[in-house]
Amino acid sequence: MRVFFIFLDGVGLGADNPEINPFARAKMPTLESLLGGHKLLASVAPFVGERAALLPLDASLGVAGLPQSATGQAVLLTGINIPKKIGEHYGPKPNPAVAGYLLKGNIFSELTKSNKKAALLNAYPPRYFHGVDSGKRLYSAIPLAVTSAGLPLFTKDDLYAGRALSADFTGAGWRGMLGFPDAPQLSPHAAGKKLAELAGQYDFSMFEYWASDYAGHKQDMEWALNQLEVFDGVITGLVEHWNDDEGLILITSDHGNLEDLSTRRHTDAKVPGLLIGSSEARAAFGSGLSDLAGIHKSILRVISP
Of 201, 225, 224, 198, nearest in space to 213 by CA: 224
* Residue 299 pLDDT greater than 90, yes or no: yes
What is the pLDDT, as a whole number, of residue 305? 61
Number of CB atoms found within 10 A of residue 195's CB:
25
DSSP the chain: -EEEEEEETT-----S-TTT-GGGTS--HHHHHHTTT--S-GGG-SEE-SSEEEEEEBSSTT-SS---HHHHHHHHHH-S-HHHHHTS---SS--HHHHHHHHH--HHHHHHHTT--EEE-BB--HHHHHHHHHTSS---HHHHHHHHTTPPPB-HHHHHHTSSB-TTSSSHHHHHTSS-TTS----HHHHHHHHHHHHTT-SEEEEEE-HHHHHHHHT-HHHHHHHHHHHHHHHHHHHHT--TTTEEEEEE-SSB-TT-TT-SS-B---EEEEEES-HHHHHHHHTT--BGGGHHHHHHHHH--
What is the pLDDT, as a whole number, of residue 168? 96
User: What is the average pLDDT score of the chain?
Assistant: 97
Of 140, 98, 104, nearest in space to 122 by CA: 140
Question: What's the angle, vertex CA 13, arms to CA 2 and CA 48, rounded to 5?
Answer: 50
Of 171, 112, 116, nearest in space to 147 by CA: 112
The answer to pTM > 0.85 is yes
Instruction: Report how far residue 57's alpha carbon sits from residue 68's, in angstroms, rounded to the nearest whole number.
Output: 15
Percent of the chain, pLDDT > 70?
100
Instruction: Report how far residue 37's alpha carbon sits from residue 55's, in angstroms, rounded to the nearest whole number.
Output: 16
Contacts of 57 (CB under 8 A, 6+ apart): 252, 270, 271, 272, 273, 289, 290, 291, 292, 294, 295
Instruction: Report how far residue 237's alpha carbon sits from residue 229's, in angstroms, rounded to the nearest whole number.
Output: 13
Q: What is the residue extent of each domain of the chain? A: 2-12+53-62+105-265+291-303
Q: For 143-187, how does the pLDDT look when each residue is reduced to its tens digit (9 = 90+)?
A: 999 999 999 999 999 999 999 999 999 999 999 999 999 999 999
* Residue 215 pLDDT greater than 90, yes or no: no
* Residue 298 pLDDT greater than 90, yes or no: yes
Percent of the chain, pLDDT > 90?
97
Q: For 13-72, how does the pLDDT look when each residue is reduced to its tens digit (9 = 90+)?
A: 999 999 999 999 999 999 999 999 999 999 999 999 999 999 999 999 999 999 999 999
Are the C-beta atoms of residues 234 and 276 closer than 8 Å to each other? Answer: no
What is the pLDDT, as a whole number, of residue 213? 85
Are the C-beta atoms of residues 117 and 201 closer than 8 Å to each other? Answer: yes
304 pLDDT band (50/70/90 cuts)? confident
For the residues 102-113, what does the mean pLDDT come to?
98
